[in-house]
């Protein structure tokens, strides 16, 4: 392995372009060698050319068959993730995969098995683990200086509604949005979730109930290590992307507030105004997107374990399915029920 990982990007939609630009401009230990998108058009070709990418395909197979490519970056639609992981494994390529791997446990498990068999690395895109704030909470808890964790709290609210066309096919709030929080809860607790109870409602008036979904949720968690957790979500906070966590431990508490657009305070007779939270994930987590890419390239180069591996891809999906079941049946659900 050289000093730079050669990467093929699969899927050049919004998140794919974000990753592609980061790989070119901000990830020194990676080279974006090729892009493949079944809906390849002139805009995407121009975008790739501008980035200096050598090859641009509408057939992903061309990436899998290119021996000079070390790893793929799977940014296509969720239904294609597991197949692409398996193809990458077969071709001996490492795979970065956006979350979730799939919504079907058996499919996820197959993909993980393929990766393990092939001896390639898999990193799942739980990007918040690489964010400065969330990382600080995790590192503080993991250091043990506050003692054992008792309560893990995650507040996660999107700034505004996604198009209802997207919501319809999103898999529901727990698989689409809360899945990041389930991952964060596991990460902060340093322990697996054993039980879930979910409350939810469609309160925004935007029509989530008409597509069988909710826009407001609170989910309680029990962890193997005895800790309790709680997540609260809204689809539309309106004031920005509300991303806070807090862990109360035996000897104290660590919490993080939102990143703001700036640190200004404007005071007049009418009132005192401070800045809003950074709007959405593209702005809020851009440094974390870069850091996760650097970390995976580094793991490939140094042959160290992936920081967010297959197990980390599987567990939050199980929790999300348990939460959906809990909401539907209005009862607490054991993770062991989800098979």
Residues binding a copy of itself (CB under 8 A): 25-26, 132-133, 135-137, 140, 146, 148, 150-151, 153, 157, 197, 199-201, 203-205, 216-218, 220, 222, 226-230, 232, 234, 237-240, 242, 248, 250-259, 261-269, 271-277, 330-332
The residue among 103 and 234 lying less far from a copy of itself, judged by its C-beta, is 234
Residue 25 beta carbon to a copy of itself: minimum distance, rounded to whole angstroms: 5
What is the three-class DSSP state of 151? Answer: strand
Residue 161 beta carbon to a copy of itself: minimum distance, rounded to whole angstroms: 12
The residue among 93 and 138 lying less far from a copy of itself, judged by its C-beta, is 138
The residue among 55 and 194 lying less far from a copy of itself, judged by its C-beta, is 194
Residues near 278 by Cβ (< 8 Å), separated by ≥ 6?
240, 241, 258, 259, 260, 261, 284
Q: What are phi and psi of 180, to 5 degrees?
A: -60, -35
The residue among 8 and 200 lying less far from a copy of itself, judged by its C-beta, is 200
Residue 13 beta carbon to a copy of itself: minimum distance, rounded to whole angstroms: 20
Are 156 and 277 in contact, with CB atoms under 8 Å apart?
A: no
* Distance between first and last Cα of the chain: 39
Nearest to 107 by CA among 127, 82, 75: 82
Which DSSP symbol is given to 260?
A: B
Residue 196 beta carbon to a copy of itself: minimum distance, rounded to whole angstroms: 10
The residue among 212 and 226 lying less far from a copy of itself, judged by its C-beta, is 226
Residue 91 beta carbon to a copy of itself: minimum distance, rounded to whole angstroms: 29
Q: Report the alpha-carbon angle 124-130-134, nearest 5.
A: 120
**Alpha-carbon span 234 to 41, nearest angstrom:** 35
Residue 54 beta carbon to a copy of itself: minimum distance, rounded to whole angstroms: 14
Nearest to 89 by CA among 123, 114, 106: 114
The residue among 102 and 242 lying less far from a copy of itself, judged by its C-beta, is 242
Sign of CA dihedral 306, 307, 312, 316: negative
Q: Report the alpha-carbon angle 249-232-174, nearest 5.
A: 115
**Alpha-carbon span 209 to 263, nearest angstrom:** 38
**Alpha-carbon span 288 to 135, nearest angstrom:** 10
What is the three-class DSSP state of 279? Answer: coil
Residue 76 beta carbon to a copy of itself: minimum distance, rounded to whole angstroms: 26
The residue among 90 and 145 lying less far from a copy of itself, judged by its C-beta, is 145
Residue 210 beta carbon to a copy of itself: minimum distance, rounded to whole angstroms: 16
Residues near 169 by Cβ (< 8 Å), separated by ≥ 6?
none
The residue among 67 and 270 lying less far from a copy of itself, judged by its C-beta, is 270
Which DSSP symbol is given to 278?
A: P
Residue 15 beta carbon to a copy of itself: minimum distance, rounded to whole angstroms: 20
């Amino acid at each position: 392995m050289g000093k730079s990982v050669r990467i093929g990007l699969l899927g050049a939609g919004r998140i794919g372009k974000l990753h592609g630009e980061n790989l070119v401009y901000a990830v020194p230990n990676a080279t974006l060698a090729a892009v493949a998108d079944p809906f390849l058009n002139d805009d995407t070709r121009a975008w790739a050319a501008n980035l200096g990418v050598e090859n641009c395909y509408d057939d992903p197979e061309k990436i899998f068959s290119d021996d000079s490519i070390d790893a793929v970056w799977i940014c296509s639609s969720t239904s294609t993730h597991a197949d692409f992981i398996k193809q990458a494994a077969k071709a001996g390529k490492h795979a970065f995969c956006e979350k979730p791997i799939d919504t079907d446990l058996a499919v996820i498990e197959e993909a993980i098995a393929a990766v393990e068999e092939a001896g390639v690395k898999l990193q799942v895109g739980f990007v918040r683990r690489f964010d400065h704030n969330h990382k600080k909470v995790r590192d503080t808890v993991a250091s043990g200086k506050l003692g054992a964790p008792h309560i893990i709290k995650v507040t996660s609210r999107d700034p505004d509604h996604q198009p209802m066309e997207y919501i319809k096919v999103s898999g529901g709030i727990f698989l689409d949005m809360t899945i990041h929080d389930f991952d964060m809860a596991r990460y902060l607790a340093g322990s697996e979730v054993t039980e879930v109870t979910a409350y939810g409602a469609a309160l925004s008036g935007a029509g989530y109930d008409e597509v069988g979904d909710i826009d407001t949720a609170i989910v309680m968690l029990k962890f193997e290590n005895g800790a309790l957790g709680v997540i609260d979500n809204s689809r539309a906070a309106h004031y920005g992307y509300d991303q806070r966590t807090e862990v109360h431990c035996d000897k104290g508490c660590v919490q993080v507030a939102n990143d703001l657009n700036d640190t200004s305070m404007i005071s007049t007779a009418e009132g005192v105004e401070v800045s809003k939270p950074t709007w959405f994930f593209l702005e809020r987590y851009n440094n974390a997107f870069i850091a996760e890419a650097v970390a995976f390239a580094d793991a490939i180069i140094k042959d160290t374990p992936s920081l967010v591996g297959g197990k980390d891809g599987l567990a939050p999906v199980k929790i999300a399915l348990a939460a959906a079941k809990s909401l539907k049946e209005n009862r607490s659900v054991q993770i062991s029920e989800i098979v």
